[in-house]
Amino acid sequence: MGGPAEQPIIELRDVSKSFPGVRALDHVSFSLRPGECRALVGENGAGKSTLAKIIIGHYTPSEGAVYVGGTNVTEKSGYNVRSSQAMGIAVVHQELQLIPEMNGLENLFIGSYAKRFGLVDRKAMMRKAAEIMDFLGSSVDLTVPIKELRMAEKQIIQLAKAVSMQAKMIIMDELTAVLQEKEIENIYRIIRVLKQRGMGIIYISHRLDEIFEVCDTYTVLCDGRMIHSGEVADVDKDRLIEMIIGREMTQIFPPLNDKFGAPVLELKGFSAGKAFRNIDLTVRAGEVVGIAGLVGAGKTELLNAIFGNYRTTGGEMYWKGEKVNFRKPSAAIRKGIGLVPDERKQLGLVMNFNVVHNITLPSLKRFKKGTMQHKQEREQANQVAQLMRVKATPQQSVVKLSGGNQQKIVISKWVLADSELFLFDEPTRGIDVGAKAEIYKLVGELTAKGKSVIIVSPELEELIGTCHRIYVMFEGEFQTCVSGEQKTQSHIISKLLGV
């Protein structure tokens, strides 16, 4: 890390940012030196992404100023995403700045095509790209259009782009939310090398263990205000949680419900082509069942098949003892099944609908008595939103909400629909530590009422803490089902790898 006299790469002086009705940032001062990795943490909606977007010139501060390499760029008109890039600021986040129709290679070199005799030198580009991908330890195919890649791959390309443009600093906004354990280890390695090369990094994540792996310093935001800042070496995880949620957290996982009823869902030899085969699964009333597995193990396909959203090719499904075959989600919803998908923005929400209309979507029938009962609809949606502690006004369109609040709305709609079986596909992705605990508590409350839950999650700690039993899936098949004493990280990991 550089000495104190070293000029910061970036500095925010007393920056505020208001949106209609929201003070997203409130007098924030913040700086980053070469070689420093600073964690930016805080609850959903605290203002982290807004801060990132101000740095990259996507938003202009309402007050205060941004300095890049000592120059006040807020004074200069026309500081925008393009000029921030030219000044060496890169960002990796889930709202992509890649061009979906172009392939990885083209995206890597947009604006900086290697030229030879005035012509684009494709070979040189390929060589350079191969070097970068090698450094990143990645095998993402650079010849297919970006839109055909999965989110994790898209993010690797953004990272590659940052490296190729020799950025001075890079903002990683929840980069690891879509990555797997192994890929995250790789990210740690990359960050360490980049730091040594003098790159500054702003690291935004809700997975606090990561902060202790790679970050030197931290800043905690709360309702747009910077409330704590310091050296990571001086704090531990409990203290950091306390700073983030403003209170001590004694218990993240509530005790498991121990009263089970009859089986609600049973799968026998359930199969869907290449996605998964011979799945035998039982969930009883009041039970939480987990599914662990690596990317591509078939977990998401399995949940979707149960929900009538993915075609099966064999096997049987029983709902409360009765043989069923859901050909579309509406049939599953009618029986009382709700899916919280992993891609909430594409599948879980209607982005231009407001909070109320998203929550009541699967329950509309209930409010149709001759004419639409708008008042009832609003009241019931509000009740659930409050129960879930959604931070938003009822009429707000969900597109502008923070990720965590969007997720809570997806869950809210199935709570209102009074579902009996909740299918959760990575329910706490991008969710802050306080809200995670609330979701776990909710799972506990649902099961105490006799509801059932199936959870798919890459976080083993989460599965171990919330599930009675965990099925381990490997290449489309269940390897084993662990419970009780066997519910340990090491045992599950060995099964995850098919050992």
Ligand X SMILES: Nc1ncnc2c1ncn2[C@@H]1O[C@H](COP(=O)(O)OP(=O)(O)OP(=O)(O)O)[C@@H](O)[C@H]1O
CA-to-CA distance for 44 and 60, rounded, in angstroms?
21
Residues touching Mg ion: how many (CB under 5 A)? 1
Nearest residue to Mg ion, by Cβ distance, number only: 49
Q: How far is the CB of 146 from ligand X (least distance, A)?
A: 22
What string marks each residue from 148 to 177 as x (binds Mg ion by CB under 5 A) or -? Answer: ------------------------------
Binds 286, which of Mg ion, ligand X, none (CB < 5 to 8 A, cut-off by type)? Answer: none
Structure-derived torsion over alpha carbons of residues 347, 349, 351, 352, reported in degrees to the nearest 10: 130
Binds 22, which of Mg ion, ligand X, none (CB < 5 to 8 A, cut-off by type)? Answer: ligand X
Q: Please say whether the dihedral angle defined by the alpha carbons of residues 82, 88, 93 and 99, taken in this order, is positive or negative.
A: positive
For residue 16, give the nearest of 50, 56, 58 by alpha carbon.
50
Counting contacts by CB under 5 A, is residue 363 touching Mg ion? no
Q: How far is CA 228 from CA 174, 175, 241, in A?
A: 20, 23, 12
Q: How far is the CB of 44 from ligand X (least distance, A)?
A: 3
Other residues' Cβ atoms within 10 Å of the Cβ of residue 386 = 10
Amino acid code (one letter) for 280: D
SS3 67: strand
Q: How far is the CB of 26 from ligand X (least distance, A)?
A: 11
What string marks each residue from 32 to 61 as x (binds Mg ion by CB under 5 A) or -? Answer: -----------------x------------
Binds 188, which of Mg ion, ligand X, none (CB < 5 to 8 A, cut-off by type)? Answer: none
- Scan for tokens 């977990």, then name that residue: 299
Q: How far is the CB of 182 from ligand X (least distance, A)?
A: 24
Binds 271, which of ligand X, Mg ion, none (CB < 5 to 8 A, cut-off by type)? Answer: none
What string marks each residue from 177 to 216 as x (binds Mg ion by CB under 5 A) or -? Answer: ----------------------------------------
Query: What is the CB-side half-sphere exposure of residue 473 using CA atoms within 13 A?
Result: 29
Q: Which is nearer to ligand X, 223 or 475 (CB)?
A: 223
For residue 171, give the nearest of 90, 96, 232 by alpha carbon.
90
Q: Which is nearer to ligand X, 49 or 217 (CB)?
A: 49
Q: Which is nearer to ligand X, 403 or 444 (CB)?
A: 403
Which residues in this chain contact ligand X in the complex, by CB under 6 A? 19, 22, 24, 42, 44-50, 400-404, 432
For residue 244, give the nearest of 46, 408, 429, 430 by alpha carbon.
46
Name residues contacting Mg ion, limited to 266-285 (CB under 5 A). Answer: none
CA-to-CA distance for 88 and 46, rounded, in angstroms?
26
CB 471 within 8 A of CB 281: yes
- Provide CB contacts within 8 A for 450, sequence distance 6+: 261, 285, 286
Q: Which is nearer to ligand X, 35 or 45 (CB)?
A: 45
Q: Which is nearer to ligand X, 317 or 355 (CB)?
A: 355
As to burial, measured by CB atoms within 10 angstroms (0-12 exposed, 13-18 middle, 19+ buried), residue 139 is exposed
Q: Which is nearer to ligand X, 341 or 403 (CB)?
A: 403
Nearest residue to ligand X, by Cβ distance, number only: 402
Binds 50, which of Mg ion, ligand X, none (CB < 5 to 8 A, cut-off by type)? Answer: ligand X
Binds 438, which of Mg ion, ligand X, none (CB < 5 to 8 A, cut-off by type)? Answer: none
User: What number of residues does the chain have?
Assistant: 499
In the chain, what are the helix, strand and coil shares in percent, each to the nearest 5? 40, 25, 35
What residues pair up with 472 in beta bridges, in sequence order? 292, 480
Q: How far is the CB of 325 from ligand X (least distance, A)?
A: 38
Strand blocks (E) in 188-275: 200-204, 217-222, 225-231, 263-272
CA-to-CA distance for 467 and 444, rounded, in angstroms?
10
Question: Backbone phi, then psi, for 231, in 5-degree steps?
Answer: -90, 135
Q: Which is nearer to ligand X, 44 or 363 (CB)?
A: 44
Q: Which is nearer to ligand X, 44 or 419 (CB)?
A: 44
Q: How far is the CB of 63 from ligand X (least distance, A)?
A: 15
Q: How far is the CB of 403 from Mg ion (least distance, A)?
A: 6
Q: How far is the CB of 169 from ligand X (least distance, A)?
A: 18
Q: How far is the CB of 399 from ligand X (least distance, A)?
A: 9
Q: How far is the CB of 405 from ligand X (least distance, A)?
A: 6
Q: Which is nearer to ligand X, 93 or 468 (CB)?
A: 93
Q: Which is nearer to Mg ion, 173 or 420 (CB)?
A: 173
Q: What is the DSSP letter of 147?
A: G
* Site residues, Mg ion (CB under 5 A): 49
